[in-house]
Every structure is written in C-alpha cells, then in structure tokens.
Chain A
Amino acid sequence: MNRSRIAIAVALLGIVVAVGWSARPHTETQAERVDRITSELRCVVCQGLSVKDSPSESARQMRDLVTQRVAEGRTDDQIRDEFRASYGDWVVLSPPVVGWSGLIWVAPLAAVLVGLAVALRRLRAPPATMPEPPAAAVAALRERVAREEALDLPADAR
C-alpha cells in the first residue's frame, strides 16, 4: 500500500515538474514565431493544411512573407490582419470569437449547456407514478382473485 502511494506521489510530482518546465518563461526566437504564426494560417490552395505544413509554392511564398514581417518587427495581430485583409477570416485556422464566426465557438457550448439543463431537469423530476385505479375496480379485482384462489385449493381443504 505504501509503495503504491509513493509511486502515485512520484508520478504526480513528475507531472507537476513537467508542466512547470513547459510553462517556464521562454523568449521565442524569430523562427519559432514564424512557425507559430504560419501554423495558425490556412494554406489557400490546400485542403485543411496550415501554411507551415503545406509543401505548396503558395504556402512557401506566404511563409516568406511572414518571415519578412516578423523581421520587420510587426506584431502577430498585424501579420494576421494582413492575411485577413486579403483572404478574410477564412484564412485563420482558429476563427475569431467575435462576429458570425463566433457562432462556431458558441454553438457547441450552447448545445452542451442545453444538454446539461435537460439532464438535470430529468434527474430532479419526481419518479413517475402510476395513477390510482378506481376503488370499484380494485374491489372487483380482489373478489376475482379470491374466487380463483378458492378454485385452486386442494379438495380436502374445501
């Protein structure tokens, strides 16, 4: 028991150290910035590929443009806005939360909330009960049961 607790504690410690290490302050190089920005932009001649991942000539030219803009000291937003000005919001792989494209983010969340609301409502609702049968019907049923039970009795018991 003690061993397994120690193993769990070591594993948790490992996770905390790994998360802390990955989240440590790190100055991004220009090449890393270009990679990050191009991975967020859609290749305009491909099917679902980013500018970073596409081997096409168009994507290469766009990577060159991003590299130049990064070297010029433009901000991420300025570079993305330049692409948006030419190709619209479509060119950004993660559409902005504002405007109509925000529906893409809001709709799944709304669906989950509606589903949760329905599930909670069902859980809180009292269990369904059968309606009480009329007294006359109950009496008739009891009488019938008694009659049938009397018929089933052995001969010496009658």
Chain B
Amino acid sequence: MPRWLRLGIVVAIAALVVVLVLAFRRPPQDIRTGTVGKPAAAFTLQKLEGAGTLTFTPADGKVTIVNFFASWCIPCKEENPALVRVYERYRASDVVFIGVLYQDSRDSGLQYVHDNGVVWPTASDDDGRVAFSYGVFGIPETYFIGPDGIIAGRHIGPIDETTLINGIETLRAKARP
C-alpha cells in the first residue's frame, strides 16, 4: 500500500474519532437546532385559565422562560416543582414565565395547572404551530429568551432548579448595563 494512502486512511480515522468525541461531549439536553441564537417567534394563543388570549412579544426588555408541557407528560410533572420554586423566586422581578400546552386538550391542561400549582400564564398551542416555530422536538422543553428577544438557549427534557436559575441569571447579567 502506498505511503500516501496509508497516511490518508490514518487521517480519515483520526478525523472520524475527533467528530465522534465532539458529538458525544455535547449534553443531550442542549441540541442546537435552527432556533437557538435567532429571534424568538411572537405568538398569540388562547389562555388556559379564563377567557381571552395570551400574547408574547419578544424583545420587550424582559427575560422570558417559555416552557412547553402537557398533562400526559410524566417528565413535565417531574420538572414542575423546580419551575414552581424558580417562578416564586423571580415572581416580583422582571422575569416572565409562560407555559405552552402542547398536544393536549384544554380541559386536561387546565386540570394539570390546577393540580400542580402552575400559577404563571399558560396558553394552549392547539395546532402545534408555536411549538413548530420554536423547533420543539418533544416535551418538556424550556426556552431561555433574552431581553433582546433572541433565544439564548433551550433545555430538552425535565429541567432542574440550578439550570433554570443559571440560565436566568446569565441573561439578566447580560442585560445589565
């Protein structure tokens, strides 16, 4: 086998190993898809609680947490206590929480928010268009949106208190002059 060919094979195998190592080092909750780093989509959805609509307008100068959930989603119930605690911590601040019900009936969603102490604004994404515009794979998924309206990060799967607080504080620190 010629020397150049042997060298080529070694380089190709080394490149493959590097790609695999880099791919496996990335946390599975942080899959970079099309929407991270781009402006968040504005939306208007029917509120779960009461009549009327809930409108989210990005770039309103506030840190916003958008959480996609459903009543049939077991990991959503697992992460909910962390969301409740972090919401209470930032309730008086300029951090906004929005819950988006995904692939679920409004009745079941309403029952879920009552049973699980979800007191932040929630709305139902009946046709899945909002989830699509955010690039949701499967719930629960949580999006961190900065005051500039850019999606700074996403978390796939049940989120914990530390990850939530770290994400919020990072965005608040960036927003401070």
Contact = CB atoms under 8 A, between A and B. Distances in A.
Interface residues of B, number: 20
Interface residues of A, number: 17
Given A45-B138, A114-B5, A86 B128 contact: no
Nearest to A118: B5
B81 interface: no
A90 B137 CA distance: 12
Contact of B35 (A45, A57, A85, A118): A85
A88 B127 contact: no
B35 A58 contact: no
Contact residues of B: prevailing secondary structure: loop
A58 B132 CA distance: 9
Interface in B15-37: 32-35
Interface in A72-87: 84-87
B8 interface: yes
Contact of B132 (A62, A84, A118): A62
A79 to B, nearest CB: 12
Contact of B127 (A61, A84, A90, A118): A61
A84 B2 CA distance: 43
B121 to A, nearest CB: 23
A61 B132 contact: yes
Interface in A49-76: 57-58, 61-62, 64-65
Contacts of A62: 128, 132
Contacts of A93: none
Given A61-B127, A114-B5, A114-B8, A86 B135 contact: yes
Interface string B118-159: 000000000111001111111000000000000000000000
29 contacts: A44-B138, A45-B137, A45-B138, A57-B103, A58-B103, A58-B128, A61-B103, A61-B127, A61-B128, A61-B132, A62-B128, A64-B127, A65-B132, A85-B34, A85-B38, A86-B34, A86-B35, A86-B133, A86-B134, A87-B34, A87-B135, A88-B32, A88-B33, A88-B34, A88-B135, A90-B33, A114-B5, A118-B1, A118-B5
Interface of A: 44-45, 57-58, 61-62, 64-65, 84-88, 90, 114, 118, 121
